Structure 1
Amino acid sequence: MRRNPERRAALVDAAIEVLAREGARGLTFRAVDAQAAVPPGTASNYFSSRDDLLTQAGGRIYERLEPDETTMTLALTGPRDKDRVVELLREMVARISAYSTGYLALLELRLEATRRPELRAVLTERIRADVEANVRIHLGSGLPGDATAVKLLYLALNWLIVERLTLPDVFSEAEADELVARAAERLILG
């Protein structure tokens, strides 16, 4: 296998774009090569199999979805109230929605994971770690709400993001923003 990390990352990013546009069935080495604008056969030199490519795409999506340092600082400073929670949740929805191809590719990977145990294991581990980190950071920050509220917000907001990316006319931008605030209010304040 080739070891050029920049080329590997570009190929994985290309795979994410193909997944989002064509679905899991459209993800071939040839399609990745074309998306990355590299010579035919390049992707097959970097990945041992299609499963390897799918698994690496899943990991890369999460790297790109991570909040930046400014967002993390905001989460850990300032007032510890419902309004701060709403602000952070709105930022998260906007950040994830802005990387629409990544999130759509992740949905494809989740569906593909129902048929591929190795991919299921990787995604389960990664998503479980993400949920646990969200709970740990939230509880450690002193923001209102318990672990169950964080998990329920995770579930609710993930589906709101799915609606925004797949059926954007179901909820207007303003309505989606209001739903984030109401979900936080009800789940955190009871």
Structure 2
Amino acid sequence: MRQNPARRHALLDAAIEVLARDGSRGLTLRAIDKEAGVPTGTASNYFANRDELLVQVVRRTRERLAPDPDAVAATMDQPPSPALATELMRQLLARQRADRTSNLAMLELRLEATRRPELHAQLSDFLATEHREVVDFHLDAGLPGDRLGVALLYFGMLGLIVDDFTLPAILEPYDVDELIEQLVTRLLRQRT
């Protein structure tokens, strides 16, 4: 397998574009080559099989969607509070909106995982680890709420993001900033 990291990233980014646009059935090595603007057969030099490609696409989407550490550090330079948790959720939505393609590709990968046991195992492990890291970050930062409240916030934000990308008309009657503020306020109440 070829090891040119820049070419691999370009092919994975092309795969994300194809997956988001055409779905998993449209994701072929030839389609990736065409999207990346490389000679036919290039992608097959980088990915041994479809399962390997899909797992690498998962990792690449997560890289693309990860927050900038400097931006997080700047945001976290304030005392823990519901307002800070709300700001983090607003930034999360903004970051997801900035890379709509990666989010749509992840939705396609979730669906594909229902049919591919190897991808299901990899994606489940990857997203479960990510979920734990998000919850731990929140709690370790001293932000309001307990483990269950933070988990509910995670799942609530995921649902909001999915609707925002797939059926935004559902959200039209609502002020999304208010929805986020209420999610934080209601789910992260301090327990006594």
In 2, Cα distance between the equivalents of 1:14 and 1:174? 34
- Alignment-derived partner of residue 102 in structure 2: 102
The structural deviation recorded for 1:70 is: 2.6
- Alignment-derived partner of residue 171 in structure 1: 171
8 Å CA contact retained: 1:14, 1:36 = yes
Greater Cα offset, 81-90 or 170-179: 170-179
In 1, Cα distance between the equivalents of 2:139 and 2:74? 15
Provide the secondary structure at the position in 1 that maps to 2:78.
coil
Q: After TM superposition, list the pairs within 5 Å mapping 1:129-168 onto structure 2.
A: 129-168=129-168
Q: After TM superposition, list the pairs within 5 Å mapping 1:1-190 onto structure 2.
A: 1-172=1-172, 175-189=175-189
The structural deviation recorded for 1:120 is: 1.1
Structure 2: tracts of 5 or more residues without a match: none
Q: TM-score, normalised by structure 2?
A: 0.94
In 1, Cα distance between the equivalents of 2:57 and 2:119? 10
In 1, Cα distance between the equivalents of 2:138 and 2:33? 41
Show CA shifts across 1:97-123 (max 9, x none): 211100100000001011111111111
- Size of the aligned set, in residue pairs, is 190
The structural deviation recorded for 1:92 is: 0.5
The structural deviation recorded for 1:173 is: 9.2
In 2, Cα distance between the equivalents of 1:173 and 1:38? 45
In 2, Cα distance between the equivalents of 1:87 and 1:28? 39
Query: Structure 1: which amino acid aligns with 2:13?
Result: D
In 1, Cα distance between the equivalents of 2:176 and 2:18? 28
Show CA shifts across 1:81-139 (max 9, x none): 11111011110011012111001000000010111111111111111111111111111
The structural deviation recorded for 1:28 is: 0.2
8 Å CA contact retained: 1:54, 1:119 = yes
Provide the secondary structure at the position in 2 that maps to 1:54.
helix
The structural deviation recorded for 1:77 is: 2.6
Query: Structure 2: which amino acid aligns with 1:166?
Result: T
In 2, Cα distance between the equivalents of 1:150 and 1:62? 20
In 2, Cα distance between the equivalents of 1:2 and 1:73? 36
Structure 1: tracts of 5 or more residues without a match: none
The structural deviation recorded for 1:65 is: 1.1
